[in-house]
């Protein structure tokens, strides 16, 4: 919801539009008005007039308050401080950007960026090779596990047989 000066401006606009519409329709409807009709004011018209006066009074008061606030802010130096702070922040951001740009150029010129990219690529290739080796090893274990377990069963059976025959 709008408050303050802007709401009053909108209200004034609404009131003036209403008054204009009302007056223009009244003029077209009653082209012959007597002098008595002009001195008598319709209650809705009086309400409109009072509203316009209230809006005008509020606008004057708000304008005076705004003028006082602006003067106080200016005299306090707050505007100067704000402008100085923004200026310093912009300078710091500019200097930081320049330093980052210069560092990036130096790294590029020394080949650090290209060397890093090459090392990353080599690491990826080696990691893939390791993955393939692990995959192959797991497959070999899977293939030899049945043979190993069969050999262990046979050996266990032979040992048990020898123990049983030697105990008899």
In contact, 19 and 44? CB cutoff 8 Å? no
**What's the pLDDT score for residue 16?**
60
**What tens digit of pLDDT does each residue of 106-138 get?**
998 999 888 999 999 999 999 999 999 998 888
| pLDDT band, very low/low/confident/very high, at 168 (cuts 50, 70, 90) | low
d(CA 12, CA 63): 15
Residues 143-158, mean pLDDT to the nearest whole number: 74
Q: With H, G, I as helix, E, B as strand and everything else as coil, classify residue 40.
A: coil
Average pLDDT of the residues of the chain = 79
Domain limits of the chain?
Answer: 1-27+38-76
> What pTM value is reported for the model?
0.37
d(CA 154, CA 156): 5
Supply 30's token pair: 């009653």
3-state DSSP percent of the chain in helix, strand and coil, to 5: 90, 0, 10
d(CA 137, CA 130): 10
Phi, psi angles (nearest 5°) of residue 126 = -65, -40
Question: Residue 2: CA atoms inside 13 Å, Cβ hemisphere, count?
Answer: 7
Residues 91-104, mean pLDDT to the nearest whole number: 96
């Amino acid at each position: 919801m709008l408050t303050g000066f802007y709401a009053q401006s909108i209200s004034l606009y609404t009131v003036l539009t209403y008054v204009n519409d009302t007056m223009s329709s009244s003029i077209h409807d009653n082209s012959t008005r007597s002098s008595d009709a002009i001195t008598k004011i319709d209650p809705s018209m009086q309400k409109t007039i009072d509203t316009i006066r209230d809006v005008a009074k509020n606008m004057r008061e708000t304008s005076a308050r705004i003028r006082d606030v602006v003067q106080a802010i200016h005299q306090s130096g707050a505007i100067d401080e704000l402008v100085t702070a923004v200026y310093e922040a912009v300078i710091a951001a500019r200097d930081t950007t320049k330093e980052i740009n210069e560092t990036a150029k130096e790294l590029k010129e020394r080949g650090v960026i290209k060397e890093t990219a090459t090392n990353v690529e080599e690491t990826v290739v080696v990691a893939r090779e390791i993955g393939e080796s692990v995959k192959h090893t797991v497959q070999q274990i899977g293939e030899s596990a049945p043979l190993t377990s069969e050999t262990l069963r046979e050996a266990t059976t032979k040992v048990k047989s020898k123990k049983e025959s030697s105990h008899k």
